[in-house]
Chain A
Amino acid sequence: MSAAVLGRRPKIGQDRTLLGVVIFIASESVFFLAIVLAYVAYREAGLATAKANLDVVRTAIFSIALFASSGTMAMAASARSGAWLAATMILGAIFLIGQGTEYARLLNEGVGPGSALFGTTFFTLTGLHGIHVLAGLVALAALFTANLGRARAVHAVAWEAVGFYWHFVDAVWVVVFSVVYLGTLV
């Protein structure tokens, strides 16, 4: 679709929904900040376990899928394209599969939320992020389904709002991946 058909993109300073989503993301940031700070406060105590058990390279590959999904989301929002949206969902799902298999391996090795301080902080932080990715996937799926029906009835702001949330989930993972995984390398 051309820019003329798409019309102007909604602005944060004018659109209620978009401003609401931005404020919601701001409060979510405080939530994650608190969880990340708890992780950092206990990092020293769990560092040996983290170094012994985390597979940085493997997780880095799955992380690339999530980071790439921000790119596909941006394409989807600017072109209002169901295909790009589907690509975003697939990449997000790949990331979750990576996280799920990593959880399974760690639990098999006896590292769980109750095993020691590392497990407690690791599963809480990455688990809460994972739940947010899942919520994002639900939002993407809702948008995808609505778009399949009467695409013109989908308000422009829905694309922007879902995109904002998805970028936020991605940005949180940049922080989590750096603190948890890259943190084992130093």
Chain B
Amino acid sequence: MTAIPLWVRRPAGERVGWLRTVDHKEIGVLYIGMGVAFFAVGGVEALLLRAQLATPEAGLVDPETFNQAFTVHGVTMILLAVVPLLVGFANYMVPLMIGAPDVAFPRLNALSFWLSLVGGIVLYFSFLAGGAPDTGWFSYAPLAERAFAPGTGVDYYILGLAVNGAGTIIGAINLAVTILLMRCPGMAISRVPLFVWMTLVTSVLILGAYPALTAALVMLLVDRQLGGHFFDPSGGGQAVLWQHLFWFFGHPEVYIMVLPAMGMISEVIPVFSRKPIFGYAFVAGSSVAIAFLSFGVWAHHMFAVGLGDTENAIFSATSMLIAIPTGVKIFNWIATMIGGRLRMTTAMLFAVGFIAMFVIGGLSGVALAVVPIDLAVTDSYFVVAHLHYVLFGGTMLGIFAGAYYWFPKMTGRLLSEGLGRWHFWLTFAGFNLTFLPQHWLGAVGMPRRVFTYAASTGWGPLNLISTIGAAILAVAMVVFFVNLVRSLRSGEIAGDDPWDAFTLEWSTTSPPPPENFARIPAVTGRRPLWDRKHPEARDQR
């Protein structure tokens, strides 16, 4: 084993323990650990779904189990895997990147994590308590009402998401205050690394979106437990109110999941192109535009409800509008790479993969914003393909880029580049094999959330390809896991700054000491560590 301390470089003999730590780095690692664990669980659920759908009229699982599996898969991946992974990296990196000793409220930070985790455990407890929720991750009313979902699954969904959401909201307050008030001398808001910018914008999105979900959950709880009528048409309520409230949360949630990943690749691409980011202000500003617009697009999830042509046209237009600031970022990243001295490390491969896959997901998103197209493919596998290109092809590849980039800072050891390449190419191949065919399946009419299909539909071959892709993806994740474990034990020693990077987290030890820096740094530009290493060629901003 190693003499290198993991996660935090504490003085000899000092032990705090995971249960009572309030160090932002250890809490960040706890968040990441939670995300990895739930990602594995959600992945197993996905494999179960794909195994059942591999061939027509298969009987591997019964319809009830299938419904529970796709519901819990969605909730798990979104709220218990991706969000904790992103919040975990933000927790670890933001104070380091802005030259702060910790977050603004260290104890509140621990509370956020434990609430998030307990929310996830409550959701999974439903399996032991008579059955998991089976109403889909967005749990539409009136299906989620007591009359149609009489078990306790939906109640655990309500409780789990509310508690998890409370943790996420508290975490967002903490990160926002940290970024606004704890920057080191000289670290103007126009100089903070772009990952910090994205975290700030994401925090604002969380604070605006999650309370709407909590409100909707409370109303559903009143309906189910107190006999209320919020979403009960027979009692005068309107089921569509749930959809409005849920998607008022649900669409910003998409950006909550993708903006931090965009922040990660905005750190990775400049370092491995040996250039400053192209158009810093545009990357930051376009995120603010995305955040603003994201609160005005929710009804594009509801085109098929029948809101009316005017409403549909307005939401179609706002949804297309959001492609503009998103496109701006794509150009920023490409322009950063042009003329750079590219180092195609695994982190960089994943960042470039993000751009390619996210563009596909973005384009199918613009297609879905066109009302007639949406009406044709709504609730079909086309939508499943689209959302996975955004959330796996986008967010997850971004998270892997961040993981390869920051793992040496967090552990003192490099991840293996050899296994990393296997991980990347297996992921890339498996991902496209899984989800590209689903565009065709959706276009020819295969609905999402069906537990099987007739052989006469002709959907068998494409489904089989998709399932083979999922198996390759699973192998890729095993490779990553092996890489994590092996590198933790015996990876190459990283040193403080293995990538010759630009930002403050690389100016301290790997892993950093409890208070992060021996002295609070002072900075004069956007790339403080570059400035320190190249005083003759300081950044002008």
Contacts and interface: CB of A to CB of B under 8 A. Distances in A.
A116 B105 contact: no
B207 A20 contact: no
B235 A117 contact: yes
A146 interface: no
B236 A38 contact: no
Contacts of A24: 173
Nearest to A128: B218
Given A16-B177, A117-B235, A117-B237, A34 B228 contact: no
Given A113-B226, A114-B227, A42 B236 contact: yes
B241 interface: yes
B177 A23 contact: yes
Interface string B206-234: 01101110111011001100111110000
B180 A31 contact: no
Main secondary structure of the interface of A (DSSP, over half): helix
B337 interface: no
B238 interface: yes
Interface in A135-165: none
B396 interface: no
A20 B174 contact: yes
A45 B233 CA distance: 12
A34 B227 contact: no
B185 to A, nearest CB: 15
Given A120-B228, A120-B230, A41 B222 contact: no
Given A113-B226, A113-B228, A120-B228, A30 B237 contact: no
B86 interface: no
B215 A35 contact: yes
A23 to B, nearest CB: 5
B245 interface: yes
Interface in A22-39: 23-24, 26-28, 30-31, 34-35, 38
A169 B228 CA distance: 25
B227 A113 contact: yes
A34 B210 CA distance: 11
Interface of A: 14, 16, 19-20, 23-24, 26-28, 30-31, 34-35, 38, 41-42, 45, 112-114, 116-117, 119-121, 123-124, 128
17 contacts: A16-B105, A16-B177, A19-B180, A20-B104, A20-B108, A23-B177, A28-B211, A30-B212, A34-B245, A38-B230, A38-B241, A42-B230, A112-B227, A114-B229, A116-B236, A120-B230, A124-B219
